Structures are given as C-alpha cells and as structure tokens.
Structure 1
Amino acid sequence: MRKFLVIVNMESGTAKKSDPGKITAEVLDVLSSHDIESDVRFFRGADLVDGLRRAIDEKPDAILVAGGDGTVNTAAGLMENSGVALGILPMGTFNLAARDYDVPLEFEPALHALATAEMQSNQLMKISGLPCLCTSIIGFYPRMARMIDEYHGKKWWRKSLRVLGWSVFRFAKSTVYRLTISNQDTEETKQHAFKSRMLAIVPGEYRDTLGLIPERKSTSGKEATVYVFQHLTRIAMLRGMLAYVLGQSSDDPDMEAVAVTSGTLDFKGKKHVKIMIDGEVTQLETPLKIEIVPDALLLLHPQPETLP
C-alpha cells in the first residue's frame, strides 16, 4: 500500500476558511478509496518548513501540499532530489502551479487526480539559487502586489483587477531598468540589452490565451523564457495589457521574449532588485543567475484520461 502525507498551510487562501476536521475526513476517504494510506498535518506559515522537512525524512511515496503557489514553491525547494514525489493541492488565490500541471482546482477532484497520477521527473528553474515553478516577475508588479496584500486569499479575478487598476496610476512612476540578458549555454555568450519597467522569467514559455490567467505551453521544456515588457509610457502599457487580455501578446511590438538555458540578468546601476517568485516577494543581489536543473524534482502528473 502506498503512503501519502498531506501537508496543509492553514494561512493559504481558501485554507483559512476551511474546517480542518472536514479536510482530514475528505482526504482519508478519497485516498483510502484508491488504496492509499494517508496522514494529514496542518501548519501555520512559520512552522511549515520544519513540518515539510520532517515529512520528507519519513520517505513517503508522495507529499501532497495544500496551499497557494508560495507554499508549493517552498515544498519544491525542500523536495529537490529527495526521491519523494510532490503533489499539488490547490488552496491558494491564483493556483498557477496546479493549472500548469493539470490538477483540478476543486479539492475532491484534485485528490482523485493525484491519487491516480503518474510520478514524473521534472526540471526545476532557479533564480540565483531559489526555485521557481511558475513565474518570477521584476518591476512595478511586485511593488503593486505588496501594496494590496489585503486581497490575498480572495477570488483571483478580484485581485487581478485590483492590481491592474493600481498599475494604470502607478506605472509611469515606476523604475525604468536598463538590463542585459546573457545566455551562456552556447559556444559564445549572446547578450541582449533592453529598457523595461517589468519583466517575467518563466520555465518554458506561455501560449497566447484569452483572459487574465497565463497558460504555459509545456512543463517539460529545457529553456526558460524572459519576457521583457518594453512599454515605457502609460499608453504603451495599456496597449500591452489589452493585447495580453485578448491573447495577442506575441503580436505586441513592445514585448520581447528571450530564451535562456543558463544565463544572467544584469541591471545597470542596481545592486539589488525586488522580485516576485511564485507569488512571494523578496530582494536579490544582481546580477541574477538563471538556470534549468534537469531531473531535479519528482512531481505527480494527473493523466488526462483520469481527470473528472
């Protein structure tokens, strides 16, 4: 019989309002129906890392992590090369990692999907040594997101619209970065110079889709993509936002995409930059190092034929 441990971050989006007793009963019921032994453990944010480390040391077949993208990111960093599979139980605001790996966004269907999922070895993108499963953003967006943390945990569209509204008024006052992107995974280093108020670093690349939530083309790519927003005026920014929402970013003349396997981002005149990695804001020294580490993480991948 397989053994799954379920780790719940009680400070994540929907987990805040959930009944631990109901969560435990649902997990035990669903996983036992798939002949899986399980144990459910609840932690506050400050105790999450220690709880995850103890769980990894027990060497279960998989650890299902219930929380938002920041929680999943923390687990991915700790579970790198552990031999224990990570399963994503979406209980956050945006749940980008769950969307990327085809995990249903509702709790019970997600449990069924993970119980029948395949364990697959995945690459892991790192930014200056920090893991990133979904996306890292530099520029005015992380500053806006920190100003509206009170919206954490509410419906994703509500927070998205709030951020977009703030962006319209604050964009023109945000920093213009002069940056150089160097891709070192070639016989000769290729450099690209830009001016930008915001850029995003993504493992793989995005497809053009209608709406506010980005969608990755693949989770198995061997490259990262740096999306450079060269929208330096408010009008250009609004035009770029419209192109993004309509799924036409690839036609936006102010958007540049640079593929990187191993490289650096250097910011002229900046010793540190604020960066949002999978929803969590931190500050890193420059230049930033981008790398794709192959076969670093075991993940539970739900199979299309088993999805509800």
Structure 2
Amino acid sequence: MMKCILLLNRAAGGNERGLVASEVCHTVQEIFREQGHQLLAHVIDPERVEEEIKKAAAERPDAIIVGGGDGTVSTAAGLLGGTGIALGVLPMGTFNLAARDLGVPLDIKEAAEFLAQAQPVPIDVLMVSGRACLCTTVFGFYPEFSSFFEKRDHGGRWWRKTLKLAAGVPKIFARARPLSLEWKGEDATGHARTKFSAFVPGKYRSTTGIVPSRTDFRSGAMTGYIGTHRKASAAVKAMLDYLLGRHEENAELRIIKARSLELNARGRKHCTVMLDGEIIRMPLPIRLDILPERLVVLTTPEHPAETSESTA
C-alpha cells in the first residue's frame, strides 16, 4: 500500500478540456482506494504550488501526484529530487510532455489507473541554472514566439496550439534575431549562430509525431540540438524532418552530448528560454548539469528503461 498526496493545480490548462477539479480528485481517490492505496487530494491555487508541494513533502508520503501542466511538474521535480519521494504526473496541462515521456495516458481515468499500478523508478534530471528540467529547454525564436502566443491562447487543446505554432514558423523565424551561442564543458565546446536550440535530458526519440518524446532517461547525459538554419525554408524543412523522425539526418542541425555545459550568448546579458513549457528570462551565462537518477517517478520499468542508444 502506498501513502499518496494529490495536488491539483486549479489553473491547469487541462481545465479547458472540461475537467472539473473536484471530479478529478474524486476519480483518482476512488481508483487508488480500489488498488489498496491511501490518497489525500487537495486543489491548490497556482501561486501556492511551491508552498503546497513543500508542505506535502514534509508529511513524507510515498508519492506526491501533481495534476497540472509541465511547468507545475518541473517545479515539483525540483523540490522532490533527492528526497526519495516519488513524483506522479497526472496530465492536466496542454502538451503534457512529462506525462507522455513516462507513458502516462492522457485520459484522466486511465492515467489514475496507470499511476495506481505504477512503480517508483529513478530518472535523470537536467538542472538549468538551478531549475529542474524533465523534458526540454529551448532557446531562440520559439520561446519568444510562444511567449506572445501564450498571452492570447493560454490552455486549449495541444493539437490546435501546435498547428497554430507550426503555421507561424516561417514568418517568425525569418524576422527572428539569431543568438551567437557559445557552449563549453568537459565533453563539448563550440559556438554557432542559431535561431533555435534545444537541450534535453537523454535525447529525442527518432519517431514520427508532432509532440516531442524522449528516450535515455538514465543515460547520465544530455543532448543539445543546435540549429544553424539561416532561411525560413530551411527551418520548415527541419520541422518536416523532425515530424518524420529523421531530425538527426538534417545537415544544418548540430548535435552534441554532454554531462554539463555553460552557455553564453555574445552581446547579451539575458536570454528568453522555454523550460518544460514555461517561459523564463534567465541571466547569462546559463549552467546546464545532468543529475543522474536524481528523481524518483511513478511509471512502469519499461518506459525509462528504453536506453538502447544511451551515452555514458
């Protein structure tokens, strides 16, 4: 039997799907009770997420299940990493990247059934200047475009937002100012002019699909994808290569692997980044560090164990 606490973010984007917080809590509680677990559920305000997670962790449950978007999940990952308390992800956001990576179904009832039968499994965490990243940290035109887009269309369905974002790529990419990005570390050093770069714990999976998914959850390394595309047409081709699962074959995409990196951008003191779906303005330099098996998550062993292409 597990002792669990469910914290459901009242402002999660998934509420746009017609999800009612009290009904979600009741559904999850019923399913966990049927599986022999004890679960206390709380609906929390977005400005109290960090405070409520700390409060729940002080009770030393076996697991804290977070219902919210990827920003809420990454906040929980930063607070629960190293505690031994397992993090469960209930997909209540828009894209739900962490849930998808961990194999959690997007339907709430199915997700609750999955989590009630899941096991605690350790995975790597990417720390970005002290902030936890479970899925991806993106630099360049995309965070700036998304920051503007999000103000007009917070929440909503992931596929609708994805199509709108994709349709706007050529125009936004063409007028975006490139970063003169520099990176240095024990495993990789270099520089490039880039309008789009992403750093992920593990690596992106080379499969067909719109929403990015990862593999190598316990490889002890991050992968950097640094686009050197200059023209909008090249960016569109890169996007198509990604959708078809052949992004690693794109000649204008530099791929690096490392355990730790320091990033800088010539002529800039700050940089806008998207960290697990949250838009943040961060001071430079930015430090990236992989913390091996830092966080325990509720999933099934076969999902994070898919490390056939791991890098030591």
TM-score, with structure 2 as normaliser: 0.92
The amino acid of 2:129's aligned partner reads: S
Does the aligned pair in 2 maintain the 1:103–1:302 contact within 8 Å?
A: no
Gaps of 5+ in 2: 304-312
- The match for 1:75 is 76
How far the C-alpha of 1:20 sits from its partner, in A, is 2.9
Structure 1 CA distance for aligned equivalents of residues 270 and 170 of structure 2: 25
TM-score, with structure 1 as normaliser: 0.93
Equivalent residue of 1:6, what SS?
strand
Structure 2 CA distance for aligned equivalents of residues 219 and 75 of structure 1: 18
Deviation digits for residues 245-268 of structure 1 (CA, Å, limit 9, x no counterpart): 222211111111110111211211
The amino acid of 1:102's aligned partner reads: G
Identity %: 33
Equivalent residue of 2:105, what SS?
coil
Does the aligned pair in 1 maintain the 2:218–2:292 contact within 8 Å?
A: no
The amino acid of 1:34's aligned partner reads: Q
Structure 2 CA distance for aligned equivalents of residues 10 and 78 of structure 1: 19
Structure 1 CA distance for aligned equivalents of residues 302 and 127 of structure 2: 28
- The match for 2:307 is none
Gaps of 5+ in 1: none
How far the C-alpha of 1:172 sits from its partner, in A, is 1.4
Structure 2 CA distance for aligned equivalents of residues 183 and 20 of structure 1: 45
How far the C-alpha of 1:199 sits from its partner, in A, is 0.3
The amino acid of 1:223's aligned partner reads: A
Structure 2 CA distance for aligned equivalents of residues 252 and 207 of structure 1: 15
Q: CA RMSD in A?
A: 1.5
Q: Which runs of 4+ in 1 moved over 3 A?
A: none
The amino acid of 1:68's aligned partner reads: G
Does the aligned pair in 1 maintain the 2:78–2:131 contact within 8 Å?
A: yes
Counterparts in 2 of 1:110-259, with a 5 A limit? Answer: 110-149=111-150, 150-185=152-187, 190-259=188-257
Pick which of 146-155 and 57-66 moved more. 146-155
Structure 1 CA distance for aligned equivalents of residues 218 and 293 of structure 2: 10
- The match for 2:25 is 24
Pick which of 88-97 and 121-130 moved more. 121-130
Deviation digits for residues 211-259 of structure 1 (CA, Å, limit 9, x no counterpart): 2111212212211111001111112112212212222211111111110
Structure 1 CA distance for aligned equivalents of residues 171 and 136 of structure 2: 24
How far the C-alpha of 1:82 sits from its partner, in A, is 1.7
How far the C-alpha of 1:137 sits from its partner, in A, is 0.4
Structure 2 CA distance for aligned equivalents of residues 193 and 49 of structure 1: 36
Does the aligned pair in 2 maintain the 1:126–1:292 contact within 8 Å?
A: yes
